[in-house]
Amino acid sequence: MIGLVDRALALNPSYARGWFVSGLLRVFAGQTDVAIEHVETSLRLSPRERMGQPLSVIGMAHFFKHRFDETASNLLLALQDHPGFPGSYRTLAACYAHMGRLDEARATLARLRAITPLVVPSDLPLRKPEDRELFLSGLRLAAGEG
């Protein structure tokens, strides 16, 4: 899939949505620096049209790099733009838990549960086992299971 997006971007380097999709796929593949760069490129190319959840993707990339302060600030902005997006709540709750901010983690999970009963999706697309474990262990801590 990444190869197809790379080809599309080679053919049309001004395709903002393509840069966003590339960033999202690269977060899932564990290529966090490239992910941030590509999502930021999409925002530069199309600053008014925020397709997808760019700040959520950037926040997730920072999360997997253990940059929890940057994670939280990006995800809080993402939730202002898209308060109904469950992924931002999940990552923010895991982030707060790893920061030791368990009250905020639990409050974030409560807001997530108001949107969906599904706290942990069964189809996590994370390729790197350490990324998956960081995410899941944060959610377990936030839920009081860890």
The Cα-based distances of 14 to 11, 42, 74 in angstroms read 9, 8, 24
**What does the pLDDT read at residue 50?**
67
> Is-contact 45 14, C-beta < 8 A?
yes
The model's confidence at residue 42, banded by pLDDT at 50, 70 and 90, is: very high
Superfamily grouping for domain 2-142: Tetratricopeptide repeat domain (1.25.40.10)
User: In terms of pLDDT, which residue wins out, 48 or 122?
Assistant: 122
Query: What does the pLDDT average to over 31-37?
Result: 98
pTM: 0.94
